[in-house]
């Protein structure tokens, strides 16, 4: 390892950073003699970047050279940016040395496309194969499958990676083809299907032979860019919901569009990435995965976009007042989950604690229920006078989005920024 | 007011429970030997820590609450919070007296309070596991100084022994002045002598470091800077996830 790796690392991390995923969960593997490391099963963030995002994996590209020209990507062929390529041994060394110092949980490897999808994929596979077989590395490996690569190579990658992913990026095919002329849905969904086949097949085999090899045990994930096209939240979430129907799809990530190529007028000129919308999409995604919501309850033809002012669960509750108030001491778990201000943890705590006696608002507060929100949607034995029924949804909404009056410090000069 | 005086050990606390049931009187306060008696103290009882008595209480508890609730009692003990002993005492008393396990009765203030403390300690344990940074020294020992708010080092060993089984490491609590050294066989408690202590610092002196160590620190710092997206810089979120009290020991936060 020498100092010129420093420059390469800088270039290739800069190029890889727009991929949102950094999760390291889903695989448990303990260490054996003569091997390096383990996988914890739960995600461990080892640091947080200055943008507040988790750093769990060494997120890096093997090369940022690319023969494609996707409009939304910093690494597109037509951009004049510093380019670099790491050798297999440099990448392996970096991963292992970072890992041994507790900087990271493992590696998230991707690459620009050079020569052909298969040529690129083969080189990626070589890195992770080396890590596993030569260096006996047990840490987490997430590898991005190159769109358009062959089933054989996806199958090989699955032997060494914990998670494989293929990014959709653009939620509808027409826009995808306009923005990324070298890609279509086929090139994205085929590798997704190969991954799924690999995972399911290996599960089946492991049922018969306990030592049959595991295939991408942490499943697959994907990412969609938000705000680069005119697609609504309904389009995005319907696609997510369909993806979650597939048994191996673990996470869909949403990435607020950052105009890295502002000269390209196929894309909107945004001053700020749409961070609030991105956050609302993640909240809606949670409702799909953990709160037993159906996608059409969250967005539909009448409400194609998420409300930016209130979270999607509250928004649903305000549109469906007929389900409220909910009696905390009687309602079943599914209904408790639907109450704004009650999360999965507090719903579970309510169900266990009420066996010992009726719960009042003080206990709810202690359990972790956000009473500021929940109060309008519940009754327990002392509450229930001013619920959504008496107040009307509109008033509850106003009460909840009203910002506490800002205390202005008059000694301070107030500058209005305009641009 | 009844005061129990004991030696501030967990065994001592369990012995105190034994004594209380034996005497049919329960303390209003627990203090350590040598501590000043509180006002209005009417009666004191001095607990003599006794292995046999404490394990009887422990085995008694095993009949009343689950293994995980039991282990969370010892975890809470490590919080070193003022008043944690009386809280544990009251919890144990309730657990013994109740006909069925109290561990899930979060309507009870003591149960909820201990659950919260457990959560805080566990969070601190996780933070140590997340944020400790090894520096490779000339004698190939990976050294990590830490300064957790609770005494959580013992709770991190299981994870670290598994994760870093193939390297020698030393993790050291700079505040409590003790640590664990792992020699690729087992982790043993260690304490530095006075004169060695002067060599200790958040980032070790170059003389003590392996020849490539500074390069890897430099690489990690470079990576850390490059991976942040400028358009999304968010100092508040950054600090919320990465509390400032850890920065001193974080390689990537060094200039
Ligand atoms: S193929 Fe990937 S790296 Fe290449 S331009 Fe498209 S998105 Fe960027």
B183 and B116 share a domain? Answer: no
Name the one residue in this structure whose structure tokens are 């010129």.
A4
What are the residues whose beta carbons fall under 8 Å from the beta carbon of B224, sequence distance 6 or more? A47, A49, A55, B252
Kindly state the average pLDDT of the residues B153-179: 94
Of the residues B123, B143, B176, the one at which a domain ends = B123
CA quadruple A335, A26, A53, A234: dihedral, nearest 10: -50
Strands (E), B17-119: 29-32, 43-46
B103 and B136 share a domain? Answer: no
Answer whether A135's CB lies under 8 Å from A148's CB: no
Residues of chain B numbered 198-227 and touching chain A (CB < 8 Å): 212, 215-216, 218-220, 222-227
Degrees, nearest 5: CA angle A131-A136-A141? 45
B7 and B104 share a domain? Answer: yes
Sign for the CA dihedral angle at A196, A200, A206, A212 comes to: negative
Of the residues B59, B93, B123, the one at which a domain ends = B123
pLDDT tens column, A333-374: 999 999 999 999 999 999 988 888 888 888 888 888 999 999
**Number of domains composing chain B:** 2
pLDDT tens column, A5-54: 999 999 999 899 888 777 777 778 777 777 888 887 778 899 999 988 89
CA quadruple B45, B49, B51, B52: dihedral, nearest 10: -20
* Both structure tokens of A341: 């201000």
Answer whether A120's CB lies under 8 Å from A38's CB: no
CA-based radius of gyration for chain A: 24
pLDDT tens column, B103-147: 888 778 899 899 999 999 999 999 999 999 999 999 999 999 999
Residues in A closer than 8 angstroms to B163, CB to CB, are: 31, 37-38, 40
Q: Considering only CA atoms, which residue is closest to atom 3 of ligand 1?
A: A112
pLDDT tens column, B183-219: 999 999 999 887 677 677 778 888 888 999 999 999 9
Ligand 1 mean position, distance from CA A327 (Å): 52
The lowest-confidence range among A278-282, A294-298, B101-105 is B101-105
Residue B196: in which H helix or E strand, if any?
helix B194-197
Answer whether A291's CB lies under 8 Å from A313's CB: yes
Residues in B closer than 8 angstroms to A47, CB to CB, are: 130-131, 224, 242, 250, 252
The one-character DSSP state at A140 is E
Answer whether B132's CB lies under 8 Å from B146's CB: yes
pLDDT for residue B195: 67
Tell me if B229 and A94 make a contact (CB, 8 A cut-off). no
Degrees, nearest 5: CA angle B230-B236-B240? 120
What are the structural domain ranges in chain A?
3-293, 312-418
pTM for the full predicted model: 0.87
Sign for the CA dihedral angle at A51, A57, A58, A62 comes to: negative
B104 and B137 share a domain? Answer: no
Ligand 1 mean position, distance from CA A110 (Å): 10
pLDDT for residue A409: 45
Of the residues B123, B140, B167, the one at which a domain ends = B123
CATH number for A3-293: choose from 3.30.1360.70, 3.20.20.70, 3.40.50.300, 3.30.460.10.
3.20.20.70
Q: Give the domain range for residue B91.
A: 2-123
Residues of chain A numbered 330-359 and touching chain B (CB < 8 Å): 349, 352-357, 359
Q: How many angstroms away from the CA of A272 is the closest CA of chain B?
A: 7
CA quadruple A27, A368, A327, A325: dihedral, nearest 10: -100
């Amino acid at each position: 390892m020498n100092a010129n790796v420093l420059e390469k690392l800088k270039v290739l991390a800069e190029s890889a950073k727009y991929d949102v995923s950094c999760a390291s969960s889903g695989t448990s593997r303990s260490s054996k003699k003569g091997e390096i490391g383990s996988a914890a099963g739960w995600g461990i963030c080892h640091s947080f970047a200055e943008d507040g995002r988790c750093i769990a994996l060494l997120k890096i590209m093997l090369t940022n050279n690319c023969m494609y020209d996707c409009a939304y990507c910093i690494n597109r062929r037509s951009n004049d940016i510093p380019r670099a390529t790491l050798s297999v041994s440099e990448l392996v060394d970096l991963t292992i040395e970072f890992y041994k110092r507790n900087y990271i949980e493992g590696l998230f490897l991707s690459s620009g496309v050079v020569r052909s999808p298969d040529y690129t994929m083969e080189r990626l596979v070589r890195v992770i194969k080396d890590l596993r077989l030569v260096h006996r590395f047990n840490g987490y490996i997430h590898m991005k499958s190159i769109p358009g690569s062959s089933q054989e190579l996806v199958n090989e990658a699955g032997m060494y990676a914990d998670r494989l992913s293929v990014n959709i990026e653009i939620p509808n095919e027409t826009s995808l083809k306009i923005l990324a002329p070298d890609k279509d849905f086929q090139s994205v969904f085929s590798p997704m299907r190969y991954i799924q086949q690999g995972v399911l097949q290996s599960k089946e085999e492991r049922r018969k032979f306990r030592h049959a090899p595991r295939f991408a045990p942490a499943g697959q994930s994907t990412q969609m860019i938000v705000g680069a096209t005119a697609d609504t939240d309904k389009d995005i979430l319907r696609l997510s919901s369909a993806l979650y129907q597939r048994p191996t799809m673990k996470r869909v990530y949403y990435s607020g569009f950052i105009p890295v190529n502002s000269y390209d007028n196929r894309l909107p000129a945004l001053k700020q990435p749409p961070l609030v919308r991105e956050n609302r999409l993640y909240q809606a995604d949670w409702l799909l995965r953990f709160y037993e919501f159906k996608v059409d309850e969250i967005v539909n033809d009448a409400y194609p976009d998420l409300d930016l002012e209130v979270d999607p669960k509250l928004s649903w509750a305000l549109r469906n007042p007929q389900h409220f108030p909910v009696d905390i001491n009687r309602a079943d778990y599914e209904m408790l989950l639907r109450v704004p201000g009650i999360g999965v943890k507090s719903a579970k705590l309510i169900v266990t604690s009420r066996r010992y006696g009726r719960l009042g608002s003080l206990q709810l507060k202690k359990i972790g229920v956000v009473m500021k929100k929940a109060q309008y949607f519940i009754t327990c034995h002392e509450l229930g006078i001013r619920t959504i029924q008496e107040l009307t949804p509109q008033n509850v909404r106003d009460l909840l989005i009203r910002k506490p009056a800002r205390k202005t410090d008059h000694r301070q000069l107030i500058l209005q920024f305009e641009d | 007011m009844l005061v129990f005086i004991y030696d501030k050990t967990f065994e001592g606390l369990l012995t105190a429970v034994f004594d209380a049931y034996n005497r049919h009187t329960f303390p209003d306060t627990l203090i350590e030997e040598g501590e000043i008696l509180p006002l209005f103290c009417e009666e004191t009882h001095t607990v003599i820590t006794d292995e046999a008595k404490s394990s009887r209480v422990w085995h008694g508890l095993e009949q009343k609450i689950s293994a995980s609730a039991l282990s969370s009692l010892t975890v809470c003990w490590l919080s070193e919070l003022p008043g944690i002993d009386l809280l544990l005492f009251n919890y144990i008393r309730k657990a013994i007296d109740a006909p069925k396990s109290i561990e899930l009765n979060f309507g009870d203030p003591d149960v909820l309070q201990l659950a919260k403390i457990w959560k805080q300690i566990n969070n601190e344990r996780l933070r140590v596991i997340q944020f400790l940074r090894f520096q490779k020294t000339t004698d190939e020992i990976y050294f990590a100084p830490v300064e957790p708010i609770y005494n959580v080092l013992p709770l991190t060993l299981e994870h670290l022994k598994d994760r870093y089984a193939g390297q020698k490491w030393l993790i050291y609590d700079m505040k409590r002045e003790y640590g664990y050294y792992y020699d690729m066989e087992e982790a043993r408690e260690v304490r530095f002598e006075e004169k060695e202590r002067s060599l200790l610092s958040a980032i070790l002196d170059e003389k003590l470091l392996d020849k490539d160590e500074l390069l890897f620190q430099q690489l990690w710092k470079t990576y850390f800077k490059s991976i942040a997206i400028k358009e999304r810089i968010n100092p508040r979120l950054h600090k919320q996830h990465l509390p400032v009290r850890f920065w001193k020991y974080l390689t990537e936060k060094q200039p």
